[in-house]
Amino acid sequence: MLKSASLLALLSLVPAFVNAAQPLYAQCGGIGWSGDTSCVSGAVCTKLNDYYFQCLAGSAPSTSPPATSLPPTSVPPTPTTTGTNPTGTTTPVAGNPFTGYTIWLTPYYADEVKAAAGLISDATQKAKALKVADIPTFTWFDVVAKAPTLGTYLADASAKGKASGQKYLVQIVVYDLPDRDCAALASNGEFSIANDGLNKYYNYIDQLVAQIKKYPDVRVVAVIEPDSLANLVTNLNVAKCSGAQAAYKTGTIYALKQLNAVGVYMYLDAGHAGWLGWSANLSPAAQLYSQLYKDAGSPPFVRGLATNVANYNALTASSPDPITQGNSNYDEIHYINALAPALTSGGFPAHFIVDQGRSGVQNIRQEWGDWCNVKGAGFGARPTLNTGSSLIDAIVWIKPGGECDGTSNTSSPRYDAHCGLSDAAPNAPEAGTWFQAYFETLVKNANPAL
Ligand SMILES: *[C@@H]1O[C@H](CO)[C@@H](O)[C@H](O)[C@H]1NC(C)=O
């Protein structure tokens, strides 16, 4: 009774909002969306995936072409990129690519955070939440429709650099392989191998490269394809992963070569301690990374590996979490120290960046493999080059905290059972969309405190 009464009360409020266009970055469509599908002036409702349309700045092409437009042509042939990298040489700097650079703050995430802080009534928590807008995170290019925004971001970083005399660095995640997320469901991508996905992926990489070429004064650091190669180390028993193996390798090699040609410093994703850090997985992992690197022609801008992306492990745990079940590599520093020698002997550059964005609170999971919106997590160590290890270039925030890992809606086609576990936060929206309650917990539990 109470439920339907409050629903009626809510419905009676709806007409007041019907004509309000959605603000920049707000959702404006997708399966299950019943809100406004128009955007404020200057923003265009852009399809990111079937479940999420978002108001993005500028005049992005409409996803439904006008009736008078020509029929779509096939994917254009992939150009061979022969561009020079930002320094005009094929030689990366020696040492840590972050050194001497100011990390550019993404306005996309800052706006999400500011909007979220606006919904917090407690003044102390609101002030803490607002501080997150000033902490650099990576920007995920998880659909090709977002590629033009990279140009917008690089232009802004370039302008800020020229105005301040500082050198700017933009942090991106390359994340659009066909048959993506082959061992889970929550982050299934837009391209499928069966539907020409590899060619579409080449086009996605080409679009990123075209933007990067235009701003040679801005340094770009990229994390390459979270989870993909780690899935090839341990999940070839999953049909979708074994089916994707060749496309993942070919696609990754293409990405490494093309991004190398424009001087992007790259860290390949390497899972985390609880995945590739088991002793049986270390050597196969090192072999895969080394072989792929060689197959790509040993691109000099490949700097190393990224670990713990979007995960919750500590860099240095005060004691092993019981869920680590006797793995001697129970945190990221032990994993990195164990993996590095095998990489080095395979000829792979053993440098690392480590995501600590949501690692502030430890011993909150029921199993180490639990990855979805883990309850009780808090923002972790702030990004820094003072990492305490010569193997680690930087502690970074790669997963933008507050963006959802996956929906808890059991009826959704992208529902993954991990997102319905008792240690996963309930009422979670689709992956990548804003999860306000979760963000508020990350703020409250931040360690160090915000
Ligand atoms: C759950 O997903 C189904 C299928 O997409 C959808 O129809 C339904 O509205 C969703 N429920 C909620 C609460 O979002």
Note whether residue 86 is domain-resident.
no
Do 34 and 178 belong to one domain?
no
Judge whether 275 is annotated as a binding position: yes
Pairing of strands 265-269, 352-355: unpaired
Q: Of 176, 179, 405, 416, which one is the catalytic site residue?
A: 405
- State the distance from the centre of ligand 1 to the C-alpha of 5, rounded, in angstroms: 21
> pLDDT tens across 163-195, in order?
999 999 999 999 999 999 999 887 789 999 999
Do 49 and 179 belong to one domain?
no
Note whether residue 32 is domain-resident.
yes
- pLDDT at position 34 is 76
Q: What angle do CA 367, 314, 389 make, to 5 degrees?
A: 145
- pLDDT at position 59 is 54
Q: Which atom of ligand 1 is nearest to the CA of 429?
A: 14
CB of residue 237 inside a 6 A radius of ligand 1: no
Q: Which atom of ligand 1 is nearest to the CA of 51?
A: 5
- State the distance from the centre of ligand 1 to the C-alpha of 407, rounded, in angstroms: 10
- State the distance from the centre of ligand 1 to the C-alpha of 412, rounded, in angstroms: 6
Task: Give the total number of structural domains in the chain.
Answer: 2
- State the distance from the centre of ligand 1 to the C-alpha of 26, rounded, in angstroms: 19
Note whether residue 8 is domain-resident.
no
Note whether residue 141 is domain-resident.
yes
CB 187 within 8 A of CB 121: no
Do 258 and 325 belong to one domain?
yes
Judge whether 225 is annotated as a binding position: no
> pLDDT tens across 364-373, in order?
999 999 999 9
- pLDDT at position 57 is 73
Q: Is 181 an annotated catalytic residue?
A: yes
Do 307 and 197 belong to one domain?
yes
Q: What angle do CA 213, 219, 223 make, to 5 degrees?
A: 95
Do 237 and 313 belong to one domain?
yes
Q: What is the residue range of 41's domain? A: 26-57
- pLDDT at position 42 is 80
Residue 96 has pLDDT above 60, yes or no: yes
Judge whether 430 is annotated as a binding position: no
* Cβ-based neighbours of 11, under 8 Å, separated by 6 or more: none
Note whether residue 1 is domain-resident.
no
Q: Which atom of ligand 1 is nearest to the CA of 413?
A: 5
CB of residue 35 inside a 6 A radius of ligand 1: no
Q: What is the DSSP string of 254-278?
A: HHHHHHHHTT-EEEEE---TTTTTS
Do 33 and 138 belong to one domain?
no
* Cβ-based neighbours of 318, under 8 Å, separated by 6 or more: 362
pLDDT category at 265 given cuts 50, 70, 90 is very high
Do 113 and 48 belong to one domain?
no
Do 141 and 257 belong to one domain?
yes
CB of residue 34 inside a 6 A radius of ligand 1: no
Note whether residue 65 is domain-resident.
no
The residue contributing the CA closest to ligand 1 atom 12 is 409
Do 282 and 213 belong to one domain?
yes
- pLDDT at position 61 is 40
Do 32 and 166 belong to one domain?
no
> Tell me, what CATH number does 141's domain have?
3.20.20.40
Judge whether 403 is annotated as a binding position: yes
Q: Is 405 an annotated catalytic residue?
A: yes
Residue 24 has pLDDT above 80, yes or no: no
Note whether residue 79 is domain-resident.
no
| From 411, 415, 416, 419, mutation site for ligand 1 pocket: most ligand atoms within 8 A of C-beta | 411
Do 240 and 174 belong to one domain?
yes
List helix spans (H) across 297-417: 332-345
- pLDDT at position 40 is 82
> pLDDT tens across 132-158, in order?
999 999 999 999 999 999 999 999 999
Do 130 and 36 belong to one domain?
no
Residue 270 has pLDDT above 70, yes or no: yes
CB 111 within 8 A of CB 24: yes
Question: From residue 326, how far is each of 165, 286, 323, 333 by CA, in Å?
Answer: 50, 22, 8, 16
Note whether residue 21 is domain-resident.
no
Q: Is 196 an annotated catalytic residue?
A: no
CB of residue 32 inside a 6 A radius of ligand 1: yes
Here the tokens at position 67 are: 């009736």
pLDDT category at 45 given cuts 50, 70, 90 is confident
